[in-house]
Amino acid sequence: MGKFVNNTDEFYKYCEENEVEFVDFRFTDIKGAWHHVTYRNHAVSAEMLENGLPFDGSSIDAWQPIDKSDMILKPDVETAFLDPFTADSTIVVICDVYDIYKGQMYEKCPRSIAKNALKYLDEANIGDVAYFGPENEFFVFDNVEFRDDINSAYYKVDTEEGGWNSDTKYEYGNMAHRPGTKGGYFPTMPTDSMVDLRAEMMLIMEEIGLEVVLGHHEVAQGQGEIGIKFGTLVEAADNVQKYKYVVKMVAHLNGKTATFMPKPLYGDNGNGMHVHQSIWKDGKNMFYAPGEYGNLSKTALDYLSGIFKHSDAVAAITNPSTNSYKRLLPGFEAPSILTYSSQNRSAACRIPYGASEPAVRIETRFPDSTACPYLAFAALLMAGIDGIKKGGYPIVGPMDEDLFELSLDEIREKKIPQMPHTLREAVEGLIADNDFLKPVFTEEFITTYQHYQFERQIWPDEGRPTAYEYITTYSC
């Protein structure tokens, strides 16, 4: 597990040992999507690995204009791994993006932003390493259909695990073992139909260097999760990209389709990306204070207070889709209430059990996997650093009661702040509150990002009628 190569010499040796034919260079856009270009192995020189390779930045959403399209991919050979899905031996290398016009790492490259966030942490003299441990949930479906037209819009997803298939006529009979709505947590086979599929995912993840800990069926029908070991901020974000690639490809090659969409099913639990975090300095966990609540230090609570203080702006990056906020509605283990607890998972931040110094951390439960992991982790870190530098903001908690049972009136009565309820609310929060990000996220990036969200998601979503609106409005 871990790295396969540490430098350029080892890279070429590894390619030779594995008879590599192709080198696949990958980078991430602001949506979190991977892009790639593939070179023949013999065409990849040491000079190219050192100085980078050109590509057209104007063809990537929300990046460069056509008159300044030339950009450079800077390979990070330490990220190299063999692609487990290609017919010919192919090695993948993750890249940063370099701006030739400004002579610096590209300000809209998520991986570069994440690196700058770590640099800022060190310069602030708060810590020298930040550990992040994301937990990405996913659905596996057997069939997905959707349409979006001027006079018609619908979606239809199907999984044999779905309770709606209880009376479906299958060629070999209906076996009837299904988890049911909210009934999918930890059942054995045959109710858990994805045991072998997850096992294949887990084994392939290990092949490409991820350290896999566990896998299990999640609460919803057709939902799963695989746990991998935490890493440093950039490493953890790289691992999310690898994780999502493997999950989608294994499902695809088995005649199924996987999605990390936060809320693909109405009335059942959604997909989150719970993010465990801690800051260390000189080998010591700065979040650890034995004897305090959850063994959390003031530094940890100050860090958390920064995330809560800037929750709207942070959510614009950690929950960047209109669908994200359908998951955060109360009632489906939605961590939408801005408090913390070591006793339950209903708070926006959970304090996981762990009495020893290495195990103490916070777990923000509201993010989801539509987020670009580099941007999400960097935004969480920057908000946390702001909280520490300001000596902490007012924070509600700890609260160990079942927050899911609180009514909206009770939440208001207790004056507990909540996560934003829509992407519009989150992005408007980002527009109004972004100074805490600016040491790392530039003004140009923030402007581009908020325009992108309005033009590609918020306005198109708000302008479309839905089937439910026909139910409630058509006969008025």
Which residues participate in catalysis according to the annotation? 56, 135, 137, 218, 225, 274, 345, 363, 365
Query: What angle, 0 to 180 degrees and rounded to 10, lies between the N-to-C axes of helices 233-253 and 110-123?
Result: 150
Q: For residues 416 and 410, what is the distance between their CA atoms, to the nearest angstrom?
A: 9
Q: Do the Cβ atoms of 303 and 362 come closer than 8 Å?
A: yes
- β-strand pairing of 143-148 with 273-281: unpaired
| DSSP H stretches of helix in 255-355 | 298-309, 311-318, 324-327
Please measure the distance between the N-terminal and C-terminal CA atoms of the chain and give it in whole angstroms: 61
Q: Is 66 exposed, middle or buried (0-12, 13-18, 19+ CB in 10 A)?
A: exposed
* Backbone φ and ψ of 128, nearest 5°: -110, -5
CB 61 within 8 Å of CB 88? no
E strands within 293-399?
337-341, 347-350, 362-364
Q: How many CB atoms lie within 10 A of CB 316?
A: 30
CB half-sphere exposure, 46, CA atoms < 13 A: 7
CA dist., res. 125 & res. 119, Å (int): 10
Give the distance, in angstroms, between the CA of residue 274 and the centroid of all CA atoms in the same chain: 8
Nearest CA to 77 among 106, 48, 100? Answer: 48
Asked if residue 134 lies in contact with residue 236, where contact means CB atoms within 8 angstroms, the answer is: yes
